[in-house]
Amino acid sequence: MFEATVSEGVLRLRRPGTRWLSTGWDGGRSRAAAAYNVTVPEGFDRTDLAAYRDERLARAGFAGEADDPAGEGADAAADAPPTLFTGVSMEHARAARLGPAVAYATVGLSNPAMLPTAPADAAESREVTEAAEGPPGPGTVNLVVGTTRRLAPGAAANLVAVAAEAKAATLLATAGVPGTTSDAVVVADDSGGEPTEFSGSATAVGGAARACVRDAVRASLRSRYPDGDVPGPAADAEHGVVTDERAEVFDP
């Protein structure tokens, strides 16, 4: 579905005219020629992320693409390209393809977000080490999931949930955590593809996306932590959070 290029720590996934739905910075719905996953340096504290994105695209040889988002010249729609940020090197980016779906993943777990399900499971509490509205965390699991189908609005939104569920299930099985404090998902679909109303796990799109996310996440995890020394519930992670507060439960 995408022309994938890595340059200067930037992964570009290019397909002119693609429709995107992003949960990351400056996210939401857009139509653009490409999406980007950008590795940031250790100690990154920039908050002018639009300017930083443009600097990194220029350094990578992708200059001007943020100004021509649909890849169609002067008549292009004025949507900015979806851009994710991570502390993970793009050398650890991995992709998986099945049927009508493809997934790209970068996995870093230095800021695990744990959710105990019973009081006895609660680990020692850790607070998030940076502001919730601040720059991306030191780890991050970033996903870009694409399909050759044309998704209805609800199906696109649901595919975000399907991808996040697959990511959490995979990480729980392999690393003991469901994700990090700064994970993001981007979903892409083809405006000229076969119309698709649903994207749940029992559908062709949802089922294929789940498998792609699982396998891309596992492959990136193996690349990032080849010795299996992943930060997890028992690790002394420098960053992260444990949500061990108990909510009030009541009948509606």
Going residue by residue through the chain (252 aa), what tens digit of pLDDT does each one get? 899 999 999 999 999 889 999 999 999 999 999 999 999 998 999 999 999 999 999 999 998 765 555 555 444 455 899 999 999 999 999 999 999 999 999 999 988 998 888 755 444 444 444 444 555 556 799 999 999 999 999 999 999 999 999 999 999 999 999 999 999 999 999 999 999 999 999 999 999 999 999 999 999 999 999 998 887 654 556 678 888 888 999 999
Q: Residue 247 domain-assigned?
A: no
Please tell me the predicted confidence (pLDDT) of residue 233: 59
Please give the radius of gyration of the chain, using alpha carbons only, rounded to the nearest integer: 18
Run of H or E including 242? strand 241-242
The residue type of 84 is: L
Global pTM reads 0.89
* Domain limits for position 174: 3-242
Please tell me the predicted confidence (pLDDT) of residue 38: 97
Q: How far apart are CA 104 and CA 245, in angstroms?
A: 33
Q: Residue 250 domain-assigned?
A: no
Who contacts 199 (Cβ-Cβ below 8 Å, separation ≥6)?
A: 147, 151, 155, 156, 158, 159, 162, 205, 206, 209
Please tell me the predicted confidence (pLDDT) of residue 19: 96
Q: Residue 48 domain-assigned?
A: yes
Please tell me the predicted confidence (pLDDT) of residue 9: 98
Q: Residue 199 domain-assigned?
A: yes
> How many other β-carbons are positioned within 10 Å of the β-carbon of residue 248?
4
Please tell me the predicted confidence (pLDDT) of residue 116: 87
Helices first, then strands: H and E counts in the chain: 3, 12
Q: Residue 163 domain-assigned?
A: yes
Q: Residue 252 domain-assigned?
A: no
> How many other β-carbons are positioned within 10 Å of the β-carbon of residue 118?
6
Q: How many domains are there within the chain?
A: 1
Q: Residue 108 domain-assigned?
A: yes
Q: Residue 153 domain-assigned?
A: yes
Q: At 76, phi and psi to the nearest 5?
A: -70, 150
